[in-house]
Chain A
């Protein structure tokens, strides 16, 4: 086996979604050739999961019309069920408008008003029409704009389809990371003065999910293995409207534009759960309402997949409005379910959609250890980070906003840090050889259990035990199952493909290891939190408990299959927690 080759940049960015690309653009447009950048992505750079964001991006554009930063901040804090750190929320809300206008100046086709200004629409949980949109392909266009913008600059390298296997932290400092080159199958050491983890969430640990296949929690798992705390991982958002049976997202825009949710009795049942906001109540509330309808026998059942669902009815909007405002939704329903929403309602059920938790950071997206000390040189951006602006539940259209703002902050700080540091320090040679060993032991094994089987069982466990409604006994069974699957993967995980070029069988196996790490953290964090808050809803503890649980969970790796949990207070700087009603 050849020794580990190394690559060096001032800043290395892992992940090429909105957050990663925004960070790269920030460094290039401000620091130019003074800071060299490497962008590593497990997919080709413009294909990250951010392209799937449909509905909108929240920002206060026109205070002249009555919106305010205070209102955006309040909506976000209330939506988070008061688990958001309020200073982080303020920072996001304040930086958001400039991000929208930068994208505009760089070419994004924001939908417009007749007078040439930017159009905004209603979105769940926001008490003002503040979601900017580019038809219903908002995330796609944000990606396209940032990727194209980055092409304007020199002094950066792209590593399309390189798969980062681990990050290395020594003496409280970032000391390089390892990535598998798909073209030769070798592990390369990336040395850099600073790194930004922008690898997104972990939604593929569920089977019924809106996420792209690529979102397997890699960055979260790497941080976990490097001893960093993962924060608030029990909070997984279920979007109310996943298309049955594929899980493809039917954007909230469908309800923003006036779509109804209907049960098998033909009722707009949201009247019973959120009489004021109706279908536009926050996602956790709508998801639970839908599941209650289904569990009380007022749903429908898909004969092929066995999935139960309710209906999303757009018919009253008419063909013209659907074509103008919701073209992607019509296209998706037609191509993936054979249903024309102009003629028929769409079958939907709650679907795993967003990972509120992430790598523990401060307000400025610096990665922190469990004592709150900065891991020097390391930053996190986007969904991978928990700063935390979303707390226990994210509001629709705030995710892409956070990706943009945090990408900018992390990019700026990483560049500034790189300029202050003399040289990139790497790991010891032994550490590098151990990395090769870790990756290649999977390939060397001559027989065993293919990772696909383990992954499938994990997804089934998550779909049933850690879904919209949770309870202690069921989650404890789930955790035992996850530990069994971890053992199976460790002892018998098997890669059949022995090739060095484009070995996707090996990549899938490493992803499965990552998924098992993230699942363990979610399970342990969720079991410990004996209350219901935001997206974490327990039948055995159905009430929010501010006395005991108004705090963030921090989970750190402990031994092979356990985590040690500790808690940190929420930064409540502006508004006191109150009951959350819509």
Chain B
């Protein structure tokens, strides 16, 4: 989502009406509730919700945590568009002409209560695409000698897709997801591509085969609303296009991963050890050279039976 700096730094209307789509799971009722909130310059939608919760209506339910756009908790729909509450300035979504902000729970998710939605399916789909590095050298993966080599250019191949914070905005904006709940959705698919594009991943075929099924990537009709609403500029639509191209090439046997990362060679000694400053006075009898080379030991048996 392109950030509108001008709109965000304006002063919002002095008072706005926050209309919230509420739902009570114990009675099954759902309704619109309106709260008038006094604003200030710099106020976000999350600030407004927190003010309502603390001062007006303690029963209002919404998720939030980091308030700095990185935890992914506070996704909701603001004036019909999926957004993060903490990154949306009131000034961006309300004006003197229309001092109203409409908040709804994320579309395409089951509502639990008020603005909180159920992410169980979302997390399941993410897991389905195997979002982790798959290697043949399993032992090296769990007992590393040194790091796998990856140049800045190789990192750039997948970096933008790794920015995903699992907020769910893309799935909420996806028209295919709206009509077909079995569709894996832009979030999971972008993560599938993120790992396929990583030079450290070796068993990418496994992941491609998972995606080569009915209802998978070819369901996408490239509305690209996912990329339009992504608060982290992940571009899931682009990832899905690339996945398609990769899968088609794979099926006609022209795709080969150009290179699988290997462990870097040991470094040659280049510099003498930097000395400790003179004020570092050793306790009598301590041999620092020995401490430096000693392997760390955790005396498991002694710790657990003492």
User: Interface of A with B (CB < 8 Å)?
Assistant: 29, 43-44, 46-49, 51-52, 62-71, 74, 78, 90-91, 94-95, 98, 100-102, 104-107, 109-118, 127-128, 137, 140-141, 144, 148-149, 151-152, 160, 183, 212-214, 245-246, 248-249, 304, 331-332, 334-338, 340, 364, 366, 374, 409, 412-413, 416-417, 420, 450, 452, 456, 495-497, 499-502, 504-505, 572-576, 578-579, 581
- Determine the distance from Cα of A572 to Cα of B281 in the docked complex, in whole angstroms: 12
Bitwise, B44-79 to A at CB < 8 A (1) or not (0) is 100000000111001101011111111111000000
- Using Cβ atoms and an 8 Å threshold, which residues of chain A touch B198? 107
Give every chain B residue within 8 A of A141 (Cβ-Cβ): 162
Residues in A with CB closer than 8 Å to B291 are: 69-70, 90, 574
Residue contact A63 to B5, C-beta cutoff 8 Å: no
CB pair A74 B69 closer than 8 Å: no
Docked-complex contact A105 and B133, CB < 8 angstroms: yes
B contact residues around A576 at 8 Å (CB): 281-283
Among B67, B200, B306, contact of A213 (Cβ-Cβ < 8 Å): B67
**A29, A112, A573: which contacts B283 (Cβ < 8 A)?**
A573
A495 touches B270 (CB 8 A): no
Whether B300 is near chain A, meaning CB under 8 Å from some CB there, is: yes
Given A105-B135, A504-B53, 17 new contacts (CB under 8 A): A44-B63, A48-B65, A65-B271, A94-B294, A101-B146, A105-B140, A106-B133, A112-B150, A114-B151, A115-B264, A151-B131, A212-B65, A245-B42, A246-B42, A334-B8, A364-B298, A420-B305
* Interface assignment of B30: CB less than 8 Å from any CB of chain A: no
How far, in whole Å, are A496 and B57 apart by their CA atoms in the complex? 9
Q: Please give, as numbers and ranges, the residues of chain A lying within 8 Å of B261 by CB-CB distance.
A: 116
Within 8 A of A (CB), among B123-176: 123, 126-127, 130-133, 135, 140-142, 144, 146-152, 154-155, 158-159, 162-163, 165-166
> How far is it, in angstroms, between the C-alpha of A100 and the C-alpha of B42 when the chains are bound?
38
Q: B80 in the interface, Cβ–Cβ < 8 Å?
A: no
A502 CA / B53 CA spacing, docked (Å): 14
Q: Does B40 interact with chain A (Cβ within 8 Å)?
A: yes
Q: Given contacts A49-B65, A248-B68, A452-B54, are A417 and B304 in contact (CB under 8 A)? A: yes
A107 to chain B: which residues have CB within 8 Å? 132-133, 195, 198, 200-201
Return the contact of B72 from the options A47, A101, A113, A500 (Cβ within 8 A): A47
Task: Report yes or no: B133 in contact with A65, Cβ–Cβ below 8 A.
Answer: no
Residue among B9, B58, B116 making CB contact with A496, cutoff 8 Å: B58
CB of B97 closer than 8 Å to a CB of A: no
Interface size class of B (residues with CB under 8 A): 35 or more
CA distance A193 to B288 in the complex (A): 40
Contact of B147 among A114, A117, A149, A304 (CB under 8 A): A117
Name the one of B8, B155, B267 contacting A112, with C-beta atoms under 8 angstroms: B155
B272 to chain A, nearest CB (A): 6
Q: Which residues of A contact B41 (CB under 8 A)?
A: 304
Picked from B26, B40, B63, B274, the residue with its CB within 8 Å of the CB of A66 is: B274
B292 and A450 contacting across the interface, CB-CB below 8 Å? no
How far apart are the CA atoms of A248 and B42 in the complex, in Å? Answer: 13
**Chain B residues whose CB sits within 8 angstroms of the CB of A106 once the complex forms:** 132-133, 141
B305 partner residues in chain A, CB cutoff 8 A: 420
**Residues of A contacting B267 in the complex (Cβ-Cβ under 8 angstroms):** 62, 64-65, 117
- CB pair A409–B298 under 8 Å, yes or no, is yes
Q: Is the CB of A64 within 8 A of B42?
A: no
Known contacts A44-B119, A52-B70, A413-B303: A575-B281 contact under CB 8 Å: yes
Cross-chain contact of B112 among A127, A137, A501 (Cβ < 8 A): A501
Can you pick out 30 interface pairs between chain A and chain B where the beta carbons lie within 8 Å of each other? Answer: A44-B123, A62-B267, A64-B270, A64-B271, A66-B272, A70-B291, A70-B292, A90-B296, A94-B294, A101-B147, A104-B144, A116-B149, A149-B132, A151-B126, A212-B66, A212-B67, A213-B66, A331-B69, A334-B5, A335-B87, A338-B5, A364-B298, A366-B303, A374-B303, A413-B300, A497-B59, A501-B113, A502-B61, A572-B283, A578-B280
A389, B146: Cα distance in complex, Å = 26
- A579 and B25 form a contact (CB under 8 A): no
In the complex, B273 has a CB within 8 A of chain A: yes
In this complex, what residue of A is CB-closest to B195? A107
Enumerate chain A residues within 8 angstroms of B254, measured Cβ to Cβ: none
Q: Chain A contacts of B166 at CB under 8 A?
A: 46
Q: Sort A-B residue pairs by CB-CB distance and give the 4 closest, nearest first.
A: A116-B149, A338-B9, A66-B271, A101-B144
Q: Are A74 and B286 in contact (CB under 8 A)?
A: no
B148 touches A105 (CB 8 A): yes
